[in-house]
Amino acid sequence: MPSRLRLTTIAFLLGLALPSTAIAQDSMELVVNIPAGRLDVMRGGERVRSYPVSVGRSRYATPTGSTGLRRMVWNPSWTPPPDAAWARREKHTGPGWHNPMGRVKIHLFGDYYVHGTPVGNERLLGTPASHGCIRMRNRDVMELARMILAADGSPVTGATLDRLAASPRQTREIGMSGRVRARIEYRLAEVAADSVTLHPDVYARAGGLYATHVGDELRRAGTDPAAVLARLGDSRPATPLRLPRTDAAPLPERAPVEPGVAAASAVALRR
């Protein structure tokens, strides 16, 4: 019969293993695909929410990269960056619905943020329109902020967030652990179970080799690019182009994605 010490040790080890497995399965990541103009919320590798966003215009290209999220500000103010030519005539703006940073800004790295935007900019969501940040609808970025704080394990209560949402001029900075990560990518081709979507090369990174880049991306995704490239020819889509998959090994079906709103957020300093 196993000794009490041995049973205690086994239980202790299991107790450590199970929570870490659960955390790994429920990990949350934000993934922004620049050409798609979209931010996806991923849990355990599955997309659970999707938002339209505005990334930077080609002159103010949003950088790619990955980071842990450690800071957000509800109801931020905005001060024009003194060294930015585009902001020379801009003025400091206090918190509220008309603030260029919107109702929430979530720090990524450097001067780049995911943040809300005034309602007049919402028509541009899904297209490059910012000075480098990722803009979203205000209601979307507030929803996203709540999801991030819950996944991060933040002690900030729902009642506190409700008060901040109802008080546009009440500023609150919230620190986070970095458990939730954000990844910004530049992918021209996105593979689904039954289709391939090709996106415009918004920053002209493929040069004259659009088809070559698409073929490489499809091969890395485990998809035969022949049929897609045959349909594409020498053309480059100016808007997203969705093509049916004809390769013999389609990807497994993903869980349905909640129909999402959203929009990109832009930087607190860059707007």
In this structure, the number of other CB atoms found within 10 A of the CB of residue 232 comes to 20
Number of residues in the chain: 271
Residue 84: strand, helix, or coil:
coil
- In tens, the pLDDT along 114-151 reads 999 999 999 999 999 999 999 999 999 999 999 999 99
Write the single-letter amino acid at 245.
R
β-strand 71-74 against 112-115: which pairing, if any? unpaired
Structural contact between residues 72 and 194, judged by C-beta atoms closer than 8 angstroms? no
β-strand 112-115 against 104-109: which pairing, if any? antiparallel
Contacts of 244 (CB under 8 A, 6+ apart): 194, 195
Q: Fold for domain 28-185?
A: L,D-transpeptidase catalytic domain-like (2.40.440)
Phi, psi torsion values for 212, nearest 5 degrees: -65, -45
Structural contact between residues 112 and 267, judged by C-beta atoms closer than 8 angstroms? yes
Q: Where are the domains of the chain?
A: 28-185, 193-244
20: which strand partners? none
Question: Positive or negative, the Cα torsion across 71, 127, 119, 111?
Answer: positive
- In tens, the pLDDT along 235-266 reads 899 999 999 988 745 445 555 555 444 333 33
Residue 147: strand, helix, or coil:
helix
Q: Which of 182, 172, 209 is nearest to 113 (CA)?
A: 182
In this structure, the number of other CB atoms found within 10 A of the CB of residue 64 comes to 13
**For residue 267, what pLDDT is reported?**
36
In this structure, the number of other CB atoms found within 10 A of the CB of residue 186 comes to 21
Contacts of 200 (CB under 8 A, 6+ apart): 35, 236, 237, 238, 239, 240
Mean per-residue pLDDT pooled into runs of 10, the chain (271 residues): 43 37 63 98 94 97 97 95 84 92 97 96 96 97 98 96 97 97 98 94 95 96 92 92 75 50 39 50
Q: Is the whole-model pTM more than 0.75?
A: yes
Write the single-letter amino acid at 266.
A
